[in-house]
Amino acid sequence: VAITQAEKKRIKTLYSKKGRKSAGQFAAEGIRLLEESLRSKYLPIIVYCADSELSDRGHQLVRDFKTMGVSVINLSSRDLSAITETESSQGLLGLFEIPDSKLENLTAKNGMILLLDNISDPGNVGTLFRSALAFGFEAVIMANESVDPYNSKVVRSSAGAVFGLPIISATGNEIFRFKKNNEFKLIVADIGGNDLCASITNIRKYVRLILALGSEAAGISASVASMADLKVRINHSKKVDSLNVAVAGSIIMKELYR
């Protein structure tokens, strides 16, 4: 048999946070996500495919994985659909190791880091990963009760950016030490802050910066707010109270992109 019942059962546990934590793995399906893993050289441990469902692009991707030394197991459509989560696997599922990243080991010491503080919506978090990679951010720190970055909805919304960025969970104390030891400035997106456009010349002088975004409902946590060197807001009409957090974060990151 190409896949045992026990392995099927094990893969399905990867669709819960607890299962991912216990296995140290996550799953990603579909051509686009797996292409992005290849582009970022974040290779899967193993790829399951259903030959009969693969498009030409899918076949090419499977050949590329094999060339890179990745094990590819061909399954029946039925077996594959038993281990995929959505209807749109396009005949492909990859299993990936969750990196054991520690903030103290982060070498992105001359750039920009995104800090997500207590952001729970997987679509927003994935979108922020995508924008962070697009706008030259080098890593993402997840603090407090932010959603698991390897949640499959985060991975999908990231359009594969999850493979291209170090994503590091950290406590307030760890962030404090990292910021101090490496001389990062911390900017908080805050509705009561200074206008972004008026602040941009100053911000551009920061050699190393962390951009912190808090939850739409609760704002930034006290522990992160206490480290802020600058608070910025995006000017907008009074007809809305606030912007979506992924939009606000992306607008600020776009302004900082250099």
Chain residues that interact with a second copy, rule: CB under 8 A: 40, 123, 127, 130-131, 133-136, 157, 159, 161, 164, 234-237, 239-244, 246-247, 250-251, 254, 257
Whole-number minimum distance, CB 71 to a second copy, in Å? 27
The smaller minimum CB distance to a second copy, of residues 68 and 257, is found at: 257
Whole-number minimum distance, CB 205 to a second copy, in Å? 20
The smaller minimum CB distance to a second copy, of residues 170 and 246, is found at: 246
Contact call for residues 73 and 2 (beta carbons, < 8 A): yes
Write out the two tokens for 167.
């994503």
Whole-number minimum distance, CB 36 to a second copy, in Å? 9
The smaller minimum CB distance to a second copy, of residues 88 and 226, is found at: 88
The smaller minimum CB distance to a second copy, of residues 183 and 195, is found at: 195
Contact call for residues 27 and 95 (beta carbons, < 8 A): yes
The smaller minimum CB distance to a second copy, of residues 22 and 242, is found at: 242
Tell me how far apart the alpha carbons of residues 207 and 50 are, in angstroms, rounded to a whole number.
Answer: 48
Exposure b/e, 112-138, CB count within 10 A at least 16 = b: bbbbbbbbebbebbbbbbbbbbebebb
Task: State phi, psi for 230 to the nearest 5 degrees.
Answer: -155, 145
Whole-number minimum distance, CB 16 to a second copy, in Å? 20
Whole-number minimum distance, CB 99 to a second copy, in Å? 18
With CA atoms as reference, report the closest residue to 64 among 106, 28, 34. 34
Structure letter (DSSP) for residue 14: T
Whole-number minimum distance, CB 157 to a second copy, in Å? 8
The smaller minimum CB distance to a second copy, of residues 75 and 256, is found at: 256
Contacts of 155 (CB under 8 A, 6+ apart): 26, 28, 33, 126, 162
